[in-house]
A and B are shown apart, each in its own frame.
Chain A
Amino acid sequence: MSGKYKKVAYYPGCALEGTGHAYNRSTKELGKALGLELAELKNWNCCGAMEVKNVDPKLQTYLSARNLSIAEDMGFETVMAPCNGCYHNLKKAEYDLEHDQASREVNARLSEKAGHNTYAAGKVETIHALDWIKEAIGEEGLKVRVKNSLKGLKVANYYGCMYTRPRHIFPEKDQGPGSESTSKPHFMDDLLAAAGAENVDYPLKTACCGGAHTLSDSDTSTKLVLNLLTTAEACGADVIATECPTCHTGLEMHQVRAEKVLGRKTSVKILYFTQLLGMALGLSPRKVGVHENMSDSSDLIRAKRLA
């Protein structure tokens, strides 16, 4: 365990204040239980998610650059974003500001008009909640803190699209042993295994849930999610561990929709990895917001004595 990431800037993003509230709560509680400090970005704005880029990609770069400039103003070298969409967009902005002159010009122009510092690439490092726990605590650090082992819990780890793709915006990944892989990500697997969970060999770790069109093309999303759910069940998983509020909510919504519209019922549970880690550390299900999830996991939690 290194001293790195003991205190980082925290960018929750819009979803974590709405439908992904349980992720916000469990991330903060997990940090508290592990002695890690989060300082929320002051007056942060939406990263543009999957939508603003379709109006104009450089505008999306500006939205993230504004958030990075806040982290810089607050004196932080690292900002942690638990939402895959926010994380991806901050990384993408970092890449574009480093490599694309036109993006730099638009950012400078808009930042000046908006009256804040113009963020320049290289000042602030963006990390995911997975990087945060992995680096600041690590598997060994987790193992000694586990009070309520996840032993016997079969987990399908689901990373989604935005955590690994496109590869070029994640220069620190695919750097050999110890680094995260973009084709076979394993950070969540590593952390949950350290907490005692039995990870199943889930082939759809980075498959798409259709989150970008979860409402605008619900039928496609339902098909994609149903595939994720039935495959997890076929792999013997009790629960799908998630790391993104859009994926998580999409899985919950379309699990219900698949049953209502397609008559296909699945019973695999869906929990944020932060909720699973929190319960392993002895936090109550309530404390990590299990009751705030849209899908009901209370049966599983009772059966596995996680409560």
Chain B
Amino acid sequence: MPIHEKTLIRPENLVTHDHLTLEGVDVSGHWSTFINSRAVTDYNEQMQEEIAALPGGEYIHRCWQCGSCTNACTVNAINPDFNPRYWIYLIRMGMQDELLRDKDIIWQCVSCNKCTYACPRDVNPEGVMKATSHWLELKGFTEKKPSMVFDEAFSEQVFATGKIEDGKVLREFFARTKQPLFQDWLVALIRGLVMRLPVGLLMKLGLATVFHPRTRGWGRASKAIEEYVAERHAADRRSLHLDVQGAE
């Protein structure tokens, strides 16, 4: 599979002149398009350090840009703009504005770990993708993306009760992302299931939504986890030079 490289010759960088003569030669029009200077002046020299400070980003410095990650990437195969190798390059170069062009797709990493498997330098590109999307949210460059909303809804249940109940996670996620619960395909799916399920199991599943499954004796673990999470959140914000009080 080829690695689709990004072109820096973008429409907004193209310059055409209606009337231009250079050294006696008429170069007017579109056929002789000029390109704006591509000198980069907006480096964020802290970017690599900040992303490396977040969980998963630790080994970004090892990358030698072979492109095995992008070549192996599941999401790249359906969206060529999803390019881990390129993003790692931008982060290491500090080219923040270039990275921000892709700020709304980086969260779409599906954690299949094909990149991690292929990487000859143990960069852990999957972790770097997670650290980068986390960084974008913490810095306020993007709103909280659906994957993070889901991760939080899921994790909160685990921290509170020790277990999850998949129906509750689904309802919670749809509520938090303001989506209707009764989506066409979901209704079709549930209808098909209910038609065939024995009453006993239906009742069991129904009871699970009333009496949420939980781990017995989880209280102390739950408290220890909550303390640890608060501590980690504060540490993450500190490493990004953000106000610790701003943490949720």
Query: How far in angstroms is the closest Cβ of chain B from A43?
Result: 5
Closest A residue, CB atoms, query B56: A57
Cβ contacts under 8 Å, A256 to chain B: 185, 188-189, 192
Q: Kindly state whether residue A21 has any CB partner on chain B within 8 Å.
A: yes
Query: How far in angstroms is the closest Cβ of chain B from A307?
Result: 14
Give the interface size class of chain A: 35 or more
Cβ contacts under 8 Å, B93 to chain A: none
Q: Kindly state whether residue B135 has any CB partner on chain A within 8 Å.
A: no
Cβ contacts under 8 Å, A291 to chain B: 196-198
Quick check: A45 and B218 within 8 Å, CB to CB?
A: yes
Q: Kindly state whether residue B164 has any CB partner on chain A within 8 Å.
A: yes
By secondary structure, the B interface counts as: helix
Query: How far in angstroms is the closest Cβ of chain B from A224?
Result: 7
Instruction: Knowing A14-B213, A18-B165, A213-B108 are in contact, say whether A51-B155 is a contact too (CB < 8 A).
Output: yes
**A44, A54, A113, A164: which contacts B220 (Cβ < 8 A)?**
A113
Quick check: B163 and A110 within 8 Å, CB to CB?
A: no
Instruction: Knowing A45-B218, A48-B155, A57-B55 are in contact, say whether A296-B147 is a contact too (CB < 8 A).
Output: no
Count A/B pairs, Cβ under 8 Å: 174
Among A55, A110, A208, find the residue whose CB has the most chain B CB atoms closer than 10 A: A55
Q: Kindly state whether residue B96 has any CB partner on chain A within 8 Å.
A: no
Quick check: A260 and B155 within 8 Å, CB to CB?
A: no
* Besides A45-B158, A257-B185, 16 other A-B contacts (C-beta < 8 A): A14-B213, A15-B166, A17-B208, A18-B166, A55-B151, A58-B55, A109-B228, A114-B220, A165-B117, A213-B146, A213-B147, A215-B174, A216-B150, A256-B185, A256-B189, A256-B192
**Chain A interface (Cβ within 8 Å of chain B)?**
14-15, 17-19, 21, 43-46, 48-59, 62-63, 66, 106, 109-110, 113-116, 161, 164-167, 182, 207-208, 210-213, 215-217, 220-221, 223-224, 252-253, 256-257, 259-261, 291-292, 294-296
